Structure 1
């Protein structure tokens, strides 16, 4: 986070040299400026302003790697975090396979190319600038949404703001706890399990406390995705058929790449 902060505190002109571009068929790592990304809210409305910027990393090693470092000496911090996140993801995928009565490597085999191409797994450094007193009414740091992939690991700093929606549609705060990370369920795991595991709706609000409004907030997210060609469909077809008879939510077969592309196109302003 210290290395990210050095990057984000540069002038916009400098950061713009590292901007992420939405080029069809390519995984583009890079800087995402404020107001380039938005999420439609559950009631169909849209956040007025999202006060944040980000740096997306789709490749962690090799010539395609782009990291938010002012110089190459700081690359190790991001590479170490990326590799440790991949290791943790692999362990949790094995646990998930066993929990769903699959062979231990079932999900691991569907996520072989994390942060190495043909897979939309990404490491995202998020920066929420200090809030100005004249902030636009209705502004929010990050609107309500679910993540697109299988799981998300969230590494938080010490400042509050993150909230998750409960099954009763209420919002509860998720205060940062030292030494712990948050794990969210994404769209694709919900689709695989036919809502046995539901995707986590979450948002980042602006704290009321004035001292916290004047501090920048940071987090780093690891978005775990299957390989692009993997088909996402309910693991037990009979469950889908039963839900269809009852008029409940069902899921059609879609590739991981198709689902990610659809969600990205809905979220980014280019």
Structure 2
């Protein structure tokens, strides 16, 4: 394990990456090193960079490119595919979300892809037909990579059943499971007067599900709270994916693994403020009816289903 300049470590994931077709073919020594390094990272900061994880960089570039083309469409076009009140898939306009109610609404747009709603999943097929194929190809690879990370976490937690997480995430992309690929767009700030006092691009929050995979461009602005309660910069790292623990995994592990708060600030440099910022986030959730209760039998967290926790958090955000 090596350390980045943001106090967030990075791990060479080649021993479990998607370049290996079957984890049974993985080198045991490499796997053990990965497991130990992930455990250290997730019990300290709660975030880690993975390198050599097996998704081609050009696939990420294509997803960011087609996303940017969507977000620069006229607002009237984007609103044709807006997120409905009774679902999650679709376009989310600026001003709709606020992750920290002590701040004004977040300065960003988003597009949610939640295939559990496949029959009603909204896509901009008429205005950007290549969007669906590009984004869904990435979704499928994100699912595969997530399963590898969860397998490593089962080993790190010394679970008797190493397929425990796999069994509780079996409907990702095909059934009652809310795992969502979210493409995010932070418009350029052309004038400082556009920003309200105390407003940021994304307010302080923790993620809702099990883990999150995050790709970000080179604009910067993401900050992560460490165990001392201080925010540290999570600077973009070329060809790396940032992985973090989310709420339900913290509940499962009785706070052994921490769902760290994070936020996206507005860069101070005027030149960087005038740039757009983009990221791709894959929010991994357990199957809807999974009852999440501490694995060690503690009563630190009340049992709750994955879907109910998500709905509780949605009610705080929208």
Alignment CA distance shift 1:263-1:171 (3 Å)? same
Q: How far, CA to CA, are the matches of 2:315 and 2:215 in structure 1?
A: 26
Bigger mean CA offset, 220-229 vs 59-68: 59-68
Given that 1:58 and 1:116 are in contact with CA atoms closer than 8 Å, whether structure 2 keeps it comes out as no
For structure 1, the 5+ residue unaligned runs are 241-249
Q: How far, CA to CA, are the matches of 1:110 and 1:73 in structure 2?
A: 32
- Matching of residue 97 in structure 1 with residue 177 in structure 2: no
Alignment partner, residue 256 of structure 1:
306
Alignment partner, residue 15 of structure 2:
none
Alignment partner, residue 18 of structure 1:
81
Given that 1:49 and 1:136 are in contact with CA atoms closer than 8 Å, whether structure 2 keeps it comes out as no
- Within the candidate set 151, 175, 200, 2:211 is matched to 151
* 1:218 match: secondary structure: strand
Given that 1:60 and 1:66 are in contact with CA atoms closer than 8 Å, whether structure 2 keeps it comes out as no
Give matches, 1:75-154, under 5 Å: 75-102=132-159, 103-133=161-191, 134=193, 135-154=195-214
* 1:172 match: secondary structure: strand
Q: How far, CA to CA, are the matches of 1:259 and 1:8 in structure 2?
A: 29
Alignment partner, residue 212 of structure 1:
272
Alignment partner, residue 267 of structure 1:
317
Q: How far, CA to CA, are the matches of 1:105 and 1:260 in structure 2?
A: 23
Alignment CA distance shift 1:19-1:62 (3 Å)? closer
Give matches, 1:168-187, under 5 Å: 168-187=228-247
1:93 positional shift: 1.3
For structure 2, the 5+ residue unaligned runs are 1-63
Count of aligned positions: 251
Given that 2:66 and 2:130 are in contact with CA atoms closer than 8 Å, whether structure 1 keeps it comes out as no
Given that 1:33 and 1:54 are in contact with CA atoms closer than 8 Å, whether structure 2 keeps it comes out as yes
TM-score by length of 1: 0.89
Given that 2:224 and 2:233 are in contact with CA atoms closer than 8 Å, whether structure 1 keeps it comes out as yes
TM-score by length of 2: 0.76
Alignment partner, residue 161 of structure 1:
221
Bigger mean CA offset, 71-80 vs 143-152: 71-80
- Give RMSD over aligned pairs: 1.6
Alignment partner, residue 58 of structure 1:
114
Alignment partner, residue 39 of structure 1:
99
Q: How far, CA to CA, are the matches of 1:136 and 1:186 in structure 2?
A: 29
Alignment partner, residue 257 of structure 2:
197
- Matching of residue 229 in structure 1 with residue 289 in structure 2: yes
Q: How far, CA to CA, are the matches of 1:107 and 1:31 in structure 2?
A: 30
Given that 1:20 and 1:31 are in contact with CA atoms closer than 8 Å, whether structure 2 keeps it comes out as yes
